[in-house]
Amino acid sequence: MSIAIEFNNISKQYRLGLVSTKTLSHDLNRWWQMNVLRKEDPYLKIGETNDRSSKGNSDYVWALKNIDFKVEQGDVVGIIGKNGAGKSTLLKLLSKVTAPTTGTIRARGRIASLLEVGTGFHSEMTGRENIFMNGAILGMTKREISSKLDEIVDFSGCERYLDTPVKRYSSGMTVRLGFAIAAHLDPEILVVDEVLAVGDAEFQKKAIGKMQDVSRGEGRTVLFVSHNMTSVKNLCNNGVLLENGGLKYIGRIEDTINCYLNEVVATSRQTTWMPNDAPCQDGIRLLSARITNTEETLYAGDAIHLEFDIECEQSYLAEYNITFLVRDEMSNFLFEGSTARSNRCEPKTGKGIYHATATIPANLMNEGVYEIWRIFFVKDRVTLMACFEHTLSFELKRKQVGMFGYQGEKMGLIRPQIDWEMTYNDKIIVKDL
């Protein structure tokens, strides 16, 4: 099979806080070294890894460093990694939104990109005019675009607003129209960032189905960035894992996802901040979050014990509720746990540090990788005061049971213990109450 995209030693360097060097001495030095002395750019020798969790000592950072891989025609590649890993930067380089600092990218065929909400749209032009403009950019004639117009409008569901300037579109409508244009104007390469998360569930399902049709039925190449591991696994056959701007792993999508999840789980059963560094919103500071189970290995069916230390810079009122959300390794939201279900809180207490504990009951969660995805502080059950993301994650493994117990995998996202009673000739033969 022929190669559709080649990334050859791609690197992208930024100077933090600035669009360019913005200093005459830097610009003169770069010009002198490169144009007079015929040497390489001196600023390529400096810079640090793109690790956003540490302050660093250099003003220069490598958003991408030495990225080198190929994508075959008709392949569907999922690009995954933590926030700041370089996923969006890689797609912007491919889409020629920005240029690489070093290296070359070779792409065979027309590229249609959906990178950010509104990218490629002129806000003063109508939806119809933007469709023709995007088609012209891809090199299509007016007749070719007109033949696709009804299909694009029908897929986007924006027919009523087709002759309205897109500046009056909601973010969801903009994404719908943008994806419909990108997918239906016959590109050889379709590049989609995680903007699909803006759309509703119905549109996300349509979009995934369309990308499957484009790749499998029409033999086009798709690069897809998402934090939703279920969508990535269902759509893609190969994966690329980026970490701190570098290429961590490339291979089958299942192996790539497992590599990513194993990295996430390894260090996140406890998260603690120093008081001055703790995330703080509206006077609420999360000092620590941890899983307090003493066992090194957690098994499916175990109760999970959680502890949180919270500092309030103002009086803590009963109307404030703490809520945490749990999702699985494929980003499926499972359930929430909230103090809103308890009415035993004192009406008002002073400012200071509060210690909260919670227990996810036993015999609820199946084997797999889970994340305490978000922790909310809500006032009067309506007003969001603070939200802290990606605080904890853990893995539940399959427990080996006795000789007569069930040894196989239990299906489903959860595994509640169901109480049974069975009788035969009025005699109880099974009883789990």
168-184 pLDDT tens trace? 888 888 888 888 888 88
Is 93 in the same domain as 214? Answer: yes
Q: Is residue 406 part of a domain?
A: no
Is 117 in the same domain as 179? Answer: yes
Between residues 15 and 24, which one has the greater pLDDT? 15
Q: Is residue 424 part of a domain?
A: no
**In angstroms, rounded to a whole number, what is the distance separating the alpha carbons of residues 173 and 165?**
12
End of a domain among 249, 264, 279? 264
Is 249 in the same domain as 284? Answer: no
Q: Is residue 207 part of a domain?
A: yes
Between residues 244 and 412, which one has the greater pLDDT? 244
Please list the residues that pair with 370 across neighbouring strands. 328, 394
End of a domain among 236, 264, 292? 264
Q: Determine the residue type at 257.
A: I
Which range of residues forms the domain containing residue 381?
A: 270-397
Radius of gyration of the chain (CA): 26
Please tell me the predicted confidence (pLDDT) of residue 99: 87
Highest mean pLDDT among 121-125, 259-263, 273-277, 340-344: 121-125
Is 220 in the same domain as 282? Answer: no
> 80: helix, coil or strand?
strand
End of a domain among 264, 280, 299? 264
Is 282 in the same domain as 150? Answer: no
> 275: helix, coil or strand?
coil
Is 189 in the same domain as 215? Answer: yes
How would you write 46-74 as a 3-class SS string?
CCEECCCCCCCCCCEEEEEEEEEEEEECC
∠ Cα 181 187 190 (to 5°):
80
CATH for 216: 3.40.50.300
Q: Is residue 30 part of a domain?
A: no
Q: Is residue 425 part of a domain?
A: no
Q: Is residue 100 part of a domain?
A: yes
Please tell me the predicted confidence (pLDDT) of residue 325: 92
For residue 48, pLDDT beyond 70? no
Please tell me the predicted confidence (pLDDT) of residue 312: 82
Buried (b) or exposed (e) across 306-322, using 16+ Cβ within 10 A? bebbbbbeeebeeebbb
Distance of CA 269 to the CA centre of its chain: 20
Q: Which of 213, 214, 221 is nearest to 78 (CA)?
A: 221
Between residues 399 and 161, which one has the greater pLDDT? 161
Between residues 353 and 403, which one has the greater pLDDT? 353
**In angstroms, rounded to a whole number, what is the distance separating the alpha carbons of residues 59 and 51?**
13
Q: What is the mean pLDDT of the chain?
A: 80
Is 78 in the same domain as 223? Answer: yes
Is 219 in the same domain as 305? Answer: no
Q: Picking from 26-40, 103-117, 308-322, which range would have the lowest pLDDT averaged per residue?
A: 26-40
**In angstroms, rounded to a whole number, what is the distance separating the alpha carbons of residues 253 and 228?**
13
Is 211 in the same domain as 259? Answer: yes
Q: Picking from 141-150, 179-188, 263-272, 326-335, which range would have the lowest pLDDT averaged per residue?
A: 263-272
Q: Is residue 151 part of a domain?
A: yes
What value does the mean pLDDT take over residues 110-128?
A: 81
For residue 85, pLDDT beyond 80? yes
Please tell me the predicted confidence (pLDDT) of residue 249: 93
pLDDT grade, residue 379 (50/70/90)?
confident
Is 240 in the same domain as 299? Answer: no
Q: Is residue 247 part of a domain?
A: yes
Please list the residues that pair with 15 across neighbouring strands. 60
pLDDT tens digit sequence for 333-360: 899 998 876 655 565 667 788 888 999 9
**In angstroms, rounded to a whole number, what is the distance separating the alpha carbons of residues 195 and 199?**
8
Please tell me the predicted confidence (pLDDT) of residue 322: 86
**In angstroms, rounded to a whole number, what is the distance separating the alpha carbons of residues 418 and 415?**
9
Q: Which helix (H) or strand (E) holds 87?
A: helix 87-94
pLDDT tens digit sequence for 190-248: 888 876 666 677 777 788 888 888 777 777 899 998 887 878 888 899 999 998 889 99
Which strands sit side by side in the sheet containing 221-225, from one edge to the other?
111-114, 189-192, 221-225, 76-80, 238-243, 246-252
| Domain total of the chain | 2
Percentage of the chain beyond pLDDT 70 is 79
Between residues 226 and 281, which one has the greater pLDDT? 226
For residue 125, pLDDT beyond 50? yes
Helices marked H in 157-200: 171-184
Which residues contact residue 397 at a Cβ distance below 8 angstroms, ignoring those fewer than 6 apart? Answer: 297, 298, 299, 300, 367
Is 319 in the same domain as 351? Answer: yes
Is 235 in the same domain as 93? Answer: yes
pLDDT grade, residue 403 (50/70/90)?
very low
Please tell me the predicted confidence (pLDDT) of residue 54: 47
For residue 417, pLDDT beyond 60? yes
CATH for 291: 2.70.50.60
pLDDT grade, residue 53 (50/70/90)?
very low
Is the pTM higher than 0.85? The answer reads no
Q: Which helix (H) or strand (E) holds 30?
A: helix 24-31
